[in-house]
Amino acid sequence: MIRSLHHRGPDGFGFHESGPVGLAHARLSIIDLAGGWQPIHNEDRTVWTVFNGEIFNYIELRAELEALGHRFATNSDTETIVHAYEEFGLAFVEHLNGQFAIALWDEPRQRLVLARDRVGIRPLFYCVDRSQLLFASEVKALAAGGATLALDPVGLAEAFTFWSAIDPQTTFRNVHSLPPGHLLVCENGRQSSQSYWQWTPRADPAIAQLSFEEAAGEVRKRLVDAVRLQLRADVPVGAYLSGGLDSSGIVSLVRNYTRNRVRTFSVAFDEPEFDESESQAAMVRYLNTEHVTVRCSRRQIGERFPQLIWHTETPIVRTAPVPLMMLSGLVRESGYKVVLTGEGADEVFGGYDIFKEAKIRRFWARQPESKWRSALFGRLYGYLKHSPVGNAQFASSFFGAALGDLANPAYAHGSRWGTTRRIWNFFTPATRDALAGRDVEAAMLATLPAGFAGWDGLARDQYLEARTLMSGYLLSSQGDRVAMANSIEGRVPFLDHELIEFANALPARYKLRGLEEKAVLRAALADALPPDIIRRTKQPYRAPDSASFFVDGRPLPYVSELLSPTALKRAGHFEPALVQRLVEKCRQGRAIGFADNQAFVGILSTMLVHEMFVEGRERNFDTAPAAAEGVMIESVQ
Residues 121, 466: Cα–Cα separation, whole Å: 12
Q: Which of 2, 12, 21 has the alpha carbon at shortest distance from 142?
A: 2
528 contacts 252 by C-beta, under 8 angstroms = yes
> 378: which residues sit within 8 A by CB, 6+ positions away?
389, 392, 395
245 contacts 530 by C-beta, under 8 angstroms = no
Least confident of 366-375, 437-446, 608-617: 366-375
- Residue 213, judged by CB atoms within 10 A of its CB (0-12, 13-18, 19+), counts as exposed
Interior CA angle at 143 toward 138 and 148, to 5°? 130
Q: What is the pLDDT of residues 319-374, one digit of tens each?
A: 999 999 999 999 999 999 999 999 999 999 999 999 998 998 888 888 877 776 77
342 contacts 495 by C-beta, under 8 angstroms = no
Which whole number is the average pLDDT over 520-533?
95
The structural domains of the chain, with segments of one domain joined by +, span 2-195, 202-353+456-637, 354-455
Q: Which residues of 500-510 are buried (b: 16+ CB within 10 A; e: fewer)?
A: bbbbbbbebeb
Confidence of residue 624 (pLDDT cuts 50, 70, 90): very low
Residues 623, 558: Cα–Cα separation, whole Å: 17
Q: Is the confidence at residue 600, as pLDDT, over 90? A: yes
What number of H helices and E strands is found in the chain? 27, 19
Q: Which of 10, 3, 603, 583 has the alpha carbon at shortest distance from 309?
A: 603
343 contacts 479 by C-beta, under 8 angstroms = yes
Confidence of residue 378 (pLDDT cuts 50, 70, 90): confident
> 476: which residues sit within 8 A by CB, 6+ positions away?
120, 123, 164, 312, 314
Distance of CA 553 to the CA centre of its chain: 33
Confidence of residue 35 (pLDDT cuts 50, 70, 90): confident
Q: What pLDDT score was predicted for residue 335?
A: 95
Residues 346, 350: Cα–Cα separation, whole Å: 5
Class of domain 202-353+456-637: alpha beta
Query: Check: CATH 3.60.20.10 for 2-195?
Result: yes
Which whole number is the average pLDDT over 57-61?
98
Three-class SS of residue 169? Answer: coil
Which whole number is the average pLDDT over 502-513?
97
Eight-state DSSP code of residue 540: -
Q: What pLDDT score was predicted for residue 295?
A: 93
Q: Is the confidence at residue 388, as pLDDT, over 70? A: no
Total Cβ atoms within 10 A of residue 478: 23
Confidence of residue 618 (pLDDT cuts 50, 70, 90): confident
Q: Is the confidence at residue 537, as pLDDT, over 60? A: yes
299 contacts 325 by C-beta, under 8 angstroms = no
- Cα distance from N-terminal residue to C-terminal residue, the chain: 44
Q: Is the confidence at residue 116, as pLDDT, over 80? A: yes
Which tops the pLDDT comparison, 189 or 571? 571
Least confident of 232-241, 301-310, 369-378, 395-404: 395-404
Q: What pLDDT score was predicted for residue 623?
A: 40
pTM given for the model: 0.94
Q: Are strands 550-551 and 554-555 parallel, antiparallel or unpaired?
A: antiparallel
310: left (phi over 0), alpha (psi -120 to 50) or beta: alpha
